[in-house]
Amino acid sequence: MQISNRHPSEAASPIAIVTGGSRGIGASLVERLHRDGWGVLFTHAQSPEEADALERTFADGGPVVRGLRCDVAERDAPARIFAAAEALGDPVALVNNAGITGGLGPLAELGDDELERVIAVNLAGPARLCREAARRWQGRSLRSSIVNVSSVAARTGSPNEYVVYAAAKAGLEALTRGLAKELAGANILVNAVSPGTTDTTIHARSGEPDRARRVAANIPLGRPGQPAEIANAIAWLLSAETSYVTGSVIEVTGGL
Ligand SMILES: NC(=O)c1ccc[n+]([C@@H]2O[C@H](COP(=O)([O-])OP(=O)(O)OC[C@H]3O[C@@H](n4cnc5c(N)ncnc54)[C@H](OP(=O)(O)O)[C@@H]3O)[C@@H](O)[C@H]2O)c1
């Protein structure tokens, strides 16, 4: 196969898929990608009001932005998400951003349902979406990109908070490195961004709304990250500047 290094922006209507785009890092990324000229299909599981409000932000012009209610843990999610993206244009980028930590606490207190849900949302769902992208994009000449959103927890293990989440993210990083090698010959770049503690609603969902500020004392830069600071790194990985970057995990942690 003839490999071309044409960037997705050269496609007629390049579409980036962003899972979990209704809030937090994902919403910030949707805004950034729209500014960069991408059409975006973002997903959410249970926040239709936030998703509709975000969609309306872009109604006045520029590339298309659409939200899709779709739980990434469902087996049919990849087919539904790619079909919705194809209805908008040419999907050439996938950002596996949707994630949940589960409740804070030691492993001994974690129930089976929550354990399985954390792995399904953070690892099995993204793996299925990566597989869907691999099946659809191999054989195309245009460069395409996958960015998986990991966590500093993959390195620290997050004891007494959420070790299964940390393990799922470590699995996602291993998937990133292995898949990058599998798909390098097909001109599909696979990378990850690993945020440190970032000021989003994920902490309220884990049971401690003020967690980001509590852990700030341990962060060398002295504060939690802002969603846009994580989105910047993801947007860079999707840009034309990263033609020689694959299999990398970029840490954006304030020095943690
Ligand atoms: N914030 C941090 O400190 C931090 C640190 C390291 C890594 N991360 C990672 O960064 C990513 C984004 O986190 P965030 O802090 O922005 O989280 P957030 O504010 O809680 O937003 C999470 C987004 O993912 C969506 N989502 C959750 N479960 C989903 C599912 N099953 N299917 C589809 N969408 C789903 C949510 O939509 P709904 O509300 O509709 O569920 C929401 O749009 C995650 O992968 C997280 O693990 C975050």
- Taking residue 147's Cβ as centre, other Cβ atoms within 10 Å add up to 27
d(CA 236, CA 248): 13
Q: Across the strands, what pairs with 86?
A: none
The fraction of the chain above a pLDDT of 70, given in percent, is: 95
Is-contact 149 99, C-beta < 8 A?
A: yes
Average pLDDT value over all residues in the chain: 94
253: burial class by Cβ within 10 Å (0-12, 13-18, 19+)?
A: buried
Q: Is the CB of 91 under 6 A from ligand 1?
A: no
The whole-number pLDDT of residue 1 equals 38
Arithmetic mean of pLDDT, 3-28: 81
Residue with token string 């869907």: 132
Instruction: Give tens-digit pLDDT for 191-204.
Output: 999 999 999 989 88
**Longest C-alpha distance within the chain, in Å?**
53
Q: Is the CB of 19 under 6 A from ligand 1?
A: yes
Residue with token string 């003839």: 2
pTM of the entire predicted model: 0.96
Q: Is the CB of 24 under 6 A from ligand 1?
A: yes
Q: 174: closest CA among 130, 230, 133, 136?
A: 130
Sign of CA dihedral 58, 235, 72, 22: negative
Distance of CA 239 from the midpoint of ligand 1 (Å): 23
For the cut 60, the answer to whether the pLDDT of residue 162 exceeds it is yes
Least confident range from 3-12, 40-49, 113-122, 225-234: namely: 3-12
d(CA 99, CA 110): 17
The whole-number pLDDT of residue 141 equals 83
Arithmetic mean of pLDDT, 224-249: 97
d(CA 31, CA 58): 9
- Among 17, 19, 23, residue to substitute to test ligand 1 (most atoms within 8 Å of Cβ): 23
Residue with token string 């012009």: 61
d(CA 143, CA 6): 6
The DSSP element (H or E) to which 251 belongs, if any, is: strand 249-252
Distance of CA 207 from the midpoint of ligand 1 (Å): 14
- Among 31, 200, 211, residue to substitute to test ligand 1 (most atoms within 8 Å of Cβ): 200
Q: Closest Cα to atom 36, ligand 1: which residue?
A: 20
For the cut 80, the answer to whether the pLDDT of residue 2 exceeds it is no
For the cut 70, the answer to whether the pLDDT of residue 3 exceeds it is no
Topology (CATH) of 8-252: Rossmann fold (3.40.50)
Q: Is the CB of 151 under 6 A from ligand 1?
A: yes
The whole-number pLDDT of residue 208 equals 87
Q: Please report the atom of ligand 1 found closest to the CA of residue 96.
A: 45
d(CA 101, CA 206): 6
The whole-number pLDDT of residue 80 equals 98
Instruction: Give tens-digit pLDDT for 238-255.
Output: 999 999 999 999 999 999
For the cut 70, the answer to whether the pLDDT of residue 129 exceeds it is yes
- Show the tokens assigned to 132: 């869907």
Higher pLDDT, 83 or 1: 83
Distance of CA 4 from the midpoint of ligand 1 (Å): 34
Least confident range from 29-38, 143-152, 189-198, 205-214: namely: 205-214
Q: What angle (nearest 5°) sits at the alpha carbon of residue 21, between those of residues 237 and 85?
A: 80
Strands of 38-143 (E only): list them: 39-44, 65-69, 90-96
- Among 161, 198, 208, 232, residue to substitute to test ligand 1 (most atoms within 8 Å of Cβ): 198
Q: Is the CB of 201 under 6 A from ligand 1?
A: yes
The whole-number pLDDT of residue 8 equals 60
Q: Is the CB of 46 under 6 A from ligand 1?
A: yes
For the cut 70, the answer to whether the pLDDT of residue 10 exceeds it is no
The whole-number pLDDT of residue 56 equals 94
Q: Is the CB of 208 under 6 A from ligand 1?
A: no
